[in-house]
Structure 1
Amino acid sequence: MKFDMSRAWDDGIAMLRRNTNMVTIIAGVFFFLPYLVLMLMTPDMSQNPAMQPGANDPDAMMNAMMAVYREIWWLILLMALLQGVGTLAIYALISHSNRPTVGEAIGFGFKGLLPFLGIGLLQSLALMLVAGIPLGIAAATGSILLISLVGLTAVVLVIYVYTKFSLSVAVIGMEKQFNPVKAMGRSWALTKGNSLRLWLFYFLLFLAFGVLSAVVAMVVGLVLSLAGPEVALFGNGLVSSLINTVFVCVFLSVVAAAYRQLSGGTPDSISETFD
């Protein structure tokens, strides 16, 4: 079966529209609010001397960024956990014929959190094996040509691996498969023969929302800058959080649609009821 991008988009948006009210609640709690808090609590890097225009000390820049991460690491971790629950809850809401309540969907999200984290760790390990280790070996040789060749190959491999495992979380949410290894294997099988089409689909989605968010952020930033730094900080955080939340909801919906399309949408491959 060849992956149809237009069909995946149409089906994904249709699923999102059918569940707008409940998805809005989940997205607000698990994506919008955490992202807004993170935006407001992250120190302004532009005020750091190491990040000023003209500063050319890479070590100082790295130290400045690491200092920020050490300060807010717990918030980043908490946000990742909340978004994991929210992701699975949204999949539960949009993928079953007898839709669960918001409470049931959130409960499912917490139930699937450990497998969700397991997939993240296994994917990170896979990416390190295909990219990190080869790049490290190439860097040790000191050869610019070898580093460039290995780096280019690593980028291609990372894209390929990400695409092959991109349906893993959808498998948890829609098949209730709580074994992360089996979920990743299922994703690998579903994407067979459609990896390039899927990657292009994801690329176009990220590109479109990236351009849109940049334009909106620029316009809103110019307007809010007239109201003072504090208003601009809160306003920019609010707008960025809203754009991020909308993108997450759309992306999860179209990934769910892609899963349905590639699995054939049969009862054997999809849990039609939530119980």
Structure 2
Amino acid sequence: MKFDFDKGWSEAIAMIRSNFGLLATIAGVLIFLPSAFAAILFPDASLQIAGGNSAQPDMDQLQEAMQTLVAEYWWLFLIVFLLTSLAQLAMFAFMRRRASPTVGEALGTAASLLPSFVGAYILQVLALMAPYVLLVALPALAGLSPIAVVGALVMIPLVIYLMIKFSLTTAVIGLEGERNPVAALRRSWRLTRGNSFRLLGFYLLLAVAAFILFLIAGWIVGLIFSFGGEQTIGFGTALFAGAVDALASVFMVSIFAAIHAQLSRLSVAGDSLEA
């Protein structure tokens, strides 16, 4: 039994339509506002850091500016990350068919699941970094450049494969209430079994469509705000970035919830046939 592209998309759209008001409220408060604020703050700070010595900073100055920016505003990055994660978990809680929680209940559930999400996220990062360390970094440090090059070629598809296998981890935590990070990763791995290539194709189609829509919307927004001054353009860009983050989160949560639902049904059907 294989993942159905059309059914996955149609179920995701149905979830958005039935929960759009609540999803938009959470995304607006916990994602749009923090993201827009960060987008307003970061350009101003980076310009102040990079433009101290010259009107046109070179690449080294820009790299140093970004490092300084991250070191100075790491706390804001962390807050935006945690709020976005909280919002996504709350949106998953809304999509539990049997629960039908209120906004407060969904946020409470999301807050209780946040430590599990952070733990699973850290484990995913470590798992994705492992191929680079073992196949590229260690051979390069040992002076084995040819092996490092071959390792890089092997690393890329391996990392993509791991990303697909772990792609439903947040959905497992949010929809099933799984609090064990390792168990959530294992559950995602089992659900995607036998459908990794189909999921890769589905994700690629969504990524291409999202990229095209982003370019078109960005061009329209840029054209509208270009009639104002630099501050107007910066403010409009920040609002656009926040809106993109919020809408992307709503669609991503709905899509992963639909994929989780379909693969869960296929898993149950497969177990029934084996029994």
Give SS of 1:92's match: helix
Q: Equivalent residue of 2:43, what SS?
A: coil
Give me the TM-score of the superposition, normalised by structure 1: 0.89
2:58 pairs with one of 50, 55, 59: 55
Structure 1 stretches of 4+ moved >6 Å: 50-54, 265-268
Q: Cα 1:149–1:61, aligned 2, differ >3 Å: closer, same or farther?
A: farther
Structure 1: stretches of 5+ with no match in the other structure: 269-275
Contact 1:191 1:262 in 2 (8 A): yes
Alignment match, 2:23: 23
Aligned-residue offset at 1:198: 1.0
The aligned amino acid for 1:4 is: D
Say if 2:186 is the partner of 1:185. Answer: yes
Which residue of 2 is the match for residue 85 of structure 1?
A: 86
CA distance, structure 2, for counterparts of residue 229 and residue 209 of structure 1? 27
Are 1:217 and 1:240, in contact at CA under 8 Å, matched by a contact in 2?
A: no
Give me the whole-angstrom Cα distance separating, in 1, the residues matched to 2:105 and 2:266.
Answer: 23
Q: Contact 1:138–1:146 at 8 Å: present in 2 too?
A: yes
Q: 1:204 to 1:193 in 2, by over 3 A?
A: same
Please report how far the alpha carbon of residue 143 of structure 1 lies from its aligned counterpart in structure 2 after TM superposition. 5.1
SS in 2 for 1:220: helix
Give the match for residue 136 of structure 1. 137
In structure 2, the partner of 1:199 is 200
Residue aligning to 1:225:
226
Residue 70 of structure 1 aligns with an amino acid whose one-letter code is A
Inter-partner Cα distance in structure 1 for 2:100 and 2:123: 30
**Are residue 154 (structure 1) and residue 184 (structure 2) matched?**
no
- In 2, Cα distance between the equivalents of 1:26 and 1:159? 30
Q: 1:118 to 1:228 in 2, by over 3 A?
A: same
The offset of 1:88, in angstroms, is: 0.7
Note the 1:30-41 alignment, pairs <5 A. Answer: 30-41=30-41
1:7 matched to which residue of 2? 7
Q: How big is the shift at 1:69?
A: 0.6
Distance, in Å, in 1 between the alignment partners of 2:215 and 2:54 is 21
**8 Å contact from structure 1 (residues 95, 256) kept in 2:** no
CA distance in 1, matches of 2:54, 2:155: 29
CA distance in 2, matches of 1:227, 1:216: 18
CA offsets per residue over residues 190-222 of structure 1, 9 Å max, x none? Answer: 100111111221222122212211222133223
Equivalence for 1:43: 43
d(CA) in 1 for partners of 2:152 and 2:248?
Answer: 29
Aligned mates of 2:155, 2:121 — CA distance in 1: 19
* Offset at residue 242 of structure 1 (A): 1.0
Counterpart in the other structure of 1:242? 243
Amino acid at match of 2:139: A
TM-score by length of 2: 0.89
Q: Deviations over 1:164-204 (max 9, x none)?
A: 01111111111111111111101000100111111221222
- Which letter does structure 2 place at the counterpart of 1:247? A
2:75 aligns with 74
Secondary structure in 1 matching 2:136: helix
In the alignment, residue 259 of structure 1 is paired with which amino acid? Answer: H
Check conservation: 2:3, 2:199, Cα contact below 8 A.
yes
Residues in 2 aligned to 1:53 and 1:237: alpha-carbon distance in whole angstroms:
23
Please tell me whether the aligned partners of residues 168 and 184 of structure 1 are also in contact (alpha carbons under 8 angstroms): yes
Residue identity matched to 1:211: I
Superposition deviation, residue 244 in structure 1: 2.0
The one-letter code sitting in structure 1 at the alignment partner of 2:36 is L
Shift of 1:85: 0.9
Provide the rounded CA distance (Å) in 1 between the counterparts of 2:69 and 2:54.
12
Superposed displacement of residue 84, structure 1:
1.2
Could you tell me whether the CA contact under 8 Å between 1:131 and 1:157 is conserved in 2?
no
Q: CA deviation at 1:149?
A: 2.0
Counterpart Cα distance in 2 of 1:252 and 1:152 = 31
* Contact 2:135/2:148 (8 A) holds in 1: no
Sort the Cα spacing of 1:54 and 1:76 in 2 relative to 1 into closer, same or farther, 3 A.
Answer: closer
Structure 1 residues 9, 53: CA separation in 2 closer, same or farther (over 3 Å shift)? farther
User: 20-29 vs 139-148, which deviates more?
Assistant: 139-148
Provide the C-alpha distance between the structure 2 equivalents of 1:200 and 1:266, rounded to a whole number of angstroms.
Answer: 20
